[in-house]
Amino acid sequence: MRPRRTHKTGRMCVGVEDALRSGLAFLARKDASSQEVARMLRRKGATPEVAEEAVNRLKELGYVNDSRFASEWVRARSEGQARPLGRRGLKEGLIRRGIDPATAAQAAESAMSEEDEFRAAAALASRRVKVYQGLDPETRNRRLWWYLARRGFRSSIIARVLELDRVDFGES
């Protein structure tokens, strides 16, 4: 595989120093997991060995910290978002970004309690239920269930939300 030229400087990312510079520039724009940084370096032409060495140096220097990244990413997505994610959705998002499953689970669990997750799901459902207003209750509840499930809310939380929803619609 031929090293690719970077889009800004036209230079190839072949050595560890080039990879470090590219990694620092990437991290200056956004926080990222070690796997995301390594992926970006490989896209820019670094060999897997060079990318790994550069990521390890960035970790030593404190620029890359997967547990810090996981905590910040979860906090940003669980507070004040129009479409929040449940704990399972948070965990899966972190795993997709290269965070190991144990760290992802710990970050998601510490970010929101079960009651916080319930409140987030209920708020999301109350906004979404307007779209399903004209549907029969069974269809509406099924669609609402899958809508919340796709956002990572657990079935026990969804069941509680749908029970609340029946009360809101005057159903028994």
Mean pLDDT of 26-41: 93
CA angle (155, 150, 75) in 5-degree steps: 90
- Rounded Cα distance between 84 and 132, Å, is 19
More confident: 3 or 153? 153
Pick the more confident residue, 80 or 164: 164
Q: What is the dihedral of CA 131, 133, 138, 144, to 10 degrees?
A: 30
Within a 10 A sphere around the Cβ of 150, how many other Cβ atoms? 11
Helix segments in the chain, DSSP class H: 16-29, 34-43, 48-60, 66-78, 87-96, 101-111, 114-128, 137-150, 155-168
pLDDT at 78: 73
The DSSP annotation for 9-51 comes to T--B--SHHHHHHHHHHHHHHS---HHHHHHHHHHTT--HHHH
pLDDT of residue 2: 47
Residue 85 is predicted with a pLDDT of 87
Question: What does the pLDDT read at residue 133?
Answer: 84
pLDDT band at 7 (very low <50, low <70, confident <90, very high): very low
Mean pLDDT along residues 147-159: 93
- What's the predicted TM-score (pTM) here? 0.76
